[in-house]
Amino acid sequence: MAKKLGLKERYALMTRGLDWEPSYQPLDKLFPYDSYEGIVIKDWDAWADPFRLTMDAYWKYQAEKERKLYAILDAFQQNNGQLNLSDARYLSAVKLWLQGVTPLEYAAHRGFAHAGRAFRGAGARIACQMQSIDELRHAQTQLHAFSHYNKFFSGFHNFAHMRDRAWYLSIPKSFFEDAMTAGPFEFVTSISFAFEYVLTNLLFMPFVSGAAYNGDMATTTFGFSAQSDESRHMTLGLEVVKFMLEQHEDNVPIVQAWLDKWFWRGYRLLGLVGTMMDYMLPKKVMSWQEAWGIYWEENGVALFHDLARYGIRLPKHHEVAAKEKNRLTHEMWTVLYQYGNALGLHTWVPNDEELDWMSEKYGELFTSMYRPRLLHLRELEQRGERFFNNRLPMVCQVCQIPVFYTEPDDPHVQCVRIVEAAGTKHHCCSDGCADIFNREPMKYVQALIPPQQIYRGEAGGARDIFEYGAWLHLERDVDTGEYRGSPDQRHWQAWQQQHKATPADAA
């Protein structure tokens, strides 16, 4: 080559320069998916590339991060890093991540590969392609980091099998599959914008800071390794939404409807994360209520105000989330607790110190309402009658969460909404989910709802919650149920004794 190319020229050549005009087929036949959603794009060249990264530079950065990450994972494993955790109860959070979130990383890999094929603009295609590879890497590094725990603790053994069968994992699974079965513009709006841009701090921050607070170096390290990818993903999310809004005013109501839907679906999914923060972390980072206040009510709302100049308003039902923020995690934990016989992680009643923390963070409602409930459960357990609810629950047709939420204006009454389509009634957990159902009923009538699958005989012939647990490959009272008295707890206590007794560690 005669002269060395400048950065800008090189970038243009190595990205958009690789695209070509088709001559055998019209563009609409080549890219059938990027117009049927109704999004009008007048000028694909107006797409501002958010990444400014060429493929060769991408490989170089990622390889460098990978070397560092695996060096730390090796050291963690060789030094028996699992013994430095705050408590083995913390592992319920890691199990929830492995079973529920790692498969989402893989789903994101697939989703972005599909979206990357679907857009006719080369800039958008390349952004999606890189994210697709990032997400595959996230799935792999998480599996490698968590595989160490599988040598010592229960519940880590069969996440891929469980992912397609377990009632609580159908919550994240159905979230992503809803996005992946939409068109490419809705997909990137849902995942890149609503989930990664608006709500990501409520997923990533609690898990990664939670890991750091609780001595989990393996998880902390992959968290940092993924962070630079995440900032690219967030940029893509914002770029795609602004691009649609700027291209044509007819896009505004379509985008608004997607933001309404995906705010609500994202919020519902994050209830699991909030419950992890408040209950599964032995050392707490912050409460769900505080995190919601900072990351949604301050940052998220400010972002929506920025979008007001395009005609975008706050997502529908955001005020319901505000009303639920002081009870959501307390209600959800008792759901996990009572259906614990089909849950691949342990649950427990928090100790007094933790109850005090909750009283301090959540105030009067917790102290007068939820604390006595938890103490009642503790009393039952101490009498040898640990409470389990073995009757299958009603489940929301949209978010697939058991219908446990209470009415926004009355925490004493369950919130149930009945919708009807295809000649059959269905149930929703909220007005938010009912709105989503009513907008696309033919999509949601197809949903596979775990208790209904069991009753229809589509869960390996399981007739009750115990047979269902076995079908999930969960060993009763080993992988499932109460933490106190579990093999995880017994092993943990024995190892801590040994660990403390070893003189080498005192040095």
Partner 1 sequence: MSVKHLGPAYEYPSANREEAYGGDINFYIRWERHLMFACPAAYRAPVAMPLSEFLEHMLKPDYAAHPDAARLDFSRCVWKLDRAPWQPDFARSIADNGIGHMSYIEFASPGLDGLHGHGY
State both tokens at 39: 């999004």
Question: Of 408 and 451, which CB lies nearer to partner 1 in the complex structure?
Answer: 451
Site for partner 1 in 89-108 (CB under 8 A): none
Cβ neighbors of 507 (< 8 A, separation 6 or more) are: none
Q: Which of 49, 105, 435, 482 is close enough to bind Fe ion by CB under 5 A?
A: 105
Give the up-direction half-sphere exposure of residue 190: CA atoms within 13 A in the CB hemisphere: 25
Q: Does 429 bind Zn ion (CB under 5 A)?
A: yes
Q: Does 361 bind partner 1 (CB under 8 A)?
A: no
For Fe ion, which stretch binds (CB under 5 A), given 127-135, 244-252, 400-408, 471-479? Answer: 127-135
DSSP labels, 1-47: --SPPPHHHHHHHHTGGG----SSS-HHHH-GGGTTT----S-GGGP
Q: Provide the minimum distance between the beta carbon of 344 and partner 1 in the complex, in angstroms, as a whole number.
A: 19
Q: Which does 433 bind (CB under 5 to 8 A by kind): Zn ion, partner 1, Fe ion, none?
A: Zn ion
Q: Does 403 bind partner 1 (CB under 8 A)?
A: yes
3-class SS at 293? helix
Burial environment of residue 157 by CB neighbours within 10 A (0 to 12, 13 to 18, 19 or more): middle
Q: Is 481 left (phi over 0), alpha (psi -120 to 50) or beta?
A: left
Q: Does 138 bind Fe ion (CB under 5 A)?
A: yes
For Zn ion, which stretch binds (CB under 5 A), given 19-27, 82-90, 118-126, 392-400? Answer: 392-400
State both tokens at 279: 């209950």
Question: In terms of residues, how long is the chain?
Answer: 507
Q: Does 440 bind partner 1 (CB under 8 A)?
A: yes
Q: Which of 125, 165, 233, 317 is close enough to bind Fe ion by CB under 5 A?
A: 233
How far apart CA 324 and CA 417 sit, in angstroms, is 17
Q: Does 240 bind Fe ion (CB under 5 A)?
A: no
Backbone angles phi, psi at 424, to 5 degrees: -135, 145
3-class SS at 424? strand
Question: Of 414 and 489, which CB lies nearer to partner 1 in the complex structure?
Answer: 414
How far apart CA 103 and CA 178 sit, in angstroms, is 15
Q: Which of 98, 208, 270, 396 is close enough to bind Zn ion by CB under 5 A?
A: 396
Q: Which does 233 bind (CB under 5 to 8 A by kind): Zn ion, Fe ion, partner 1, none?
A: Fe ion
- Contact positions vs Fe ion (CB under 5 A): 105, 135, 138, 233
- Contact positions vs partner 1 (CB under 8 A): 32-33, 36-38, 183, 331, 334-335, 338, 368-369, 372-373, 376, 380, 385, 387, 389-395, 402-404, 406, 412-414, 416, 418, 421-427, 438-440, 442-443, 445-449, 451-452, 455-456
